[in-house]
Amino acid sequence: MRHMAAYDWLETMRNTQEWMGATARAMASYPALALVPNPMLQMVAAWGEVTERSFRQMVSKPDWDIRAIVGPKGQDHLVEVKPVAQKPFGDLIHFEVHNRPTMARKVLLIAPMSGHYATLVRSTVTSLLPDCEVYVTDWHNARDIPVSAGKFDVEDYTLYIADFIRHLGPDCHVIAVCQPVPLTLAATAYLASEDKAAQPKSLILIGGPVDPDAAPTDVTDFGHRISMGQLEEAAIQRVGFKYSGAGRKVYPGLLQLNSFISMNAERHAKAFGEQILRVAQGQASDHDAHNRFYDEYLSVMDMPAEFYLSTVERIFKNREIATNSFSVNGKAIDLGAINDVAVMTVEGGNDDISAPGQCVAALGLLTGLADDKKAQHLEEGAGHYGIFAGKSWRQNIRPLVLKFIDANSKNNQPTVAPKTKIKAAHKPLDLGQGENGLPH
């Protein structure tokens, strides 16, 4: 009950801040006050508008906002998001493009479960859609999953990925982004041992902590500084009475968001201060750079407690992937069993979350894989977000990934589609390629 009260207290604080913002905006915009022009009232109204929007976004799931792609002759091809496999903790969704031939490249994009929704990889999806059939793992907010659905830890996560790969068949190519990289590697090894025919054609690992100690960061240092008991006491709460998952133990998204922001507190404070000035001066809009970035950045989801804790303990503290000692349901997973899946790693030279060396460590663990099936790329100057959602991804990394996919497809023939454009509700989110991914 104490942990449920803590969860409800967090939600109450968020709700109060949203209400205060709405109240300030409404009062400072009262028509009668316009009779006496006062810049201070404009500032109060602007503060209220920015505050209300920000705190409201913290409990909202963003829309994918990918409406259509434009074909080579200028015709619109509508894009529909369809679930093709549904499970309690996450779905496999397909971005179906209407009225065009099925693309030869079938890509499964493993989105992170690290506090943000799968829409964090929206711009990755939009960049792949013209040339690929794109499938994405859409993880659910743990606050909305009833306790009766059971637990969900790193082993369950690994089995989910294996099941999704099985569902798509052996002609798919898997791209794992950030957090799921080590577990996607484990899922591929699991299939290599248990269901060899279901293995994907290729595996692209982007900026993930396969060996966290290969290049220490603040994230890895935190994992070593705190004990599991301390972490559980400080971070784990039970979902409050408002949601379907009432009573479920979770790591609240609001706590994770606080952790994200604290890493670059001054930059975030400056960004919000500048946005308030822009709103007061009438220079802001719903889809300006600030709102496009923070509407996504502030939208957070709760993670199952057992998933969060087992990630810290088994991936970061015990380094079970890095030492090839990971197991699922008591059965050891040997990464050396992967001998027929081409593997490529991508790292950012300025990545301060998963530093260079952590991801490429995967190649050294693949003792059963021939060298000509291994590839690596280090993108100099790119930060964590830039390697999958920024300019570095679009201009440099994406072409390399597609080339790697083609080289390891069944027919080994390029499958480049005619030039197409994305029609979205607004400009695709660019999370930047700097160290922190803050808007330019």
For the whole model, what pTM was predicted? 0.89
Tens digit of each residue's pLDDT (9 = 90 or more) over 15-39: 999 999 999 999 888 887 767 778 8
Compute how many other C-beta atoms are within 10 angstroms of the C-beta atom of residue 416.
13
Q: Give just the sign of the alpha carbon dihedral 268, 271, 277, 278.
A: negative
Domain spans of the chain, in order of start: 2-57+253-297, 66-223+302-424
Alpha carbon distance 400, 408 (integer Å): 12
Lowest mean pLDDT of 140-144, 152-156, 333-337, 421-425, name the range: 421-425
- pLDDT at position 55 is 96
Strand partners, 128: none
Alpha carbon distance 153, 165 (integer Å): 19
- Structure tokens given for 167: 């569902």
pLDDT tops 90 at residue 326: yes
Domain 66-223+302-424 bears CATH identifier 3.40.50.1820:
yes
pLDDT tops 80 at residue 62: yes
pLDDT tops 50 at residue 416: no
Tens digit of each residue's pLDDT (9 = 90 or more) over 228-258: 999 999 999 999 988 999 999 999 999 999 9
Strand partners, 205: 176, 345
106-110 and 172-177: which strand pairing?
parallel
Per DSSP, helices labelled H in 58-204 are 122-128, 154-168, 181-194
342-348 and 374-379: which strand pairing?
parallel
Report the first-to-last Cα separation within the chain, whole angstroms.
Answer: 44
Q: Which amino acid appears at position 305 of this protein? A: A
- pLDDT at position 417 is 41
Collapsing DSSP states into helix, strand and coil, what is residue 373?
A: helix
Collapsing DSSP states into helix, strand and coil, what is residue 57?
A: helix
Q: Token match 């040339």: residue? A: 131
Query: To 5 degrees, how large is the angle CA 383–CA 386–CA 390?
Result: 155
* Sheet with 66-70, side-by-side order of all strands: 374-379, 342-348, 202-206, 172-177, 106-110, 133-139, 90-97, 76-87, 66-70, 421-424
Encode burial over 155-185: b for 16+ CB neighbours within 10 A, e otherwise. bbbbbbbbebbbebebebbbbbbbbbbbbbb
pLDDT tops 90 at residue 433: no
Q: Which amino acid appears at position 143 of this protein? A: R
- Structure tokens given for 338: 């992967």
Over the chain, what is the mean pLDDT?
90
pLDDT tops 50 at residue 438: no
Alpha carbon distance 105, 116 (integer Å): 27
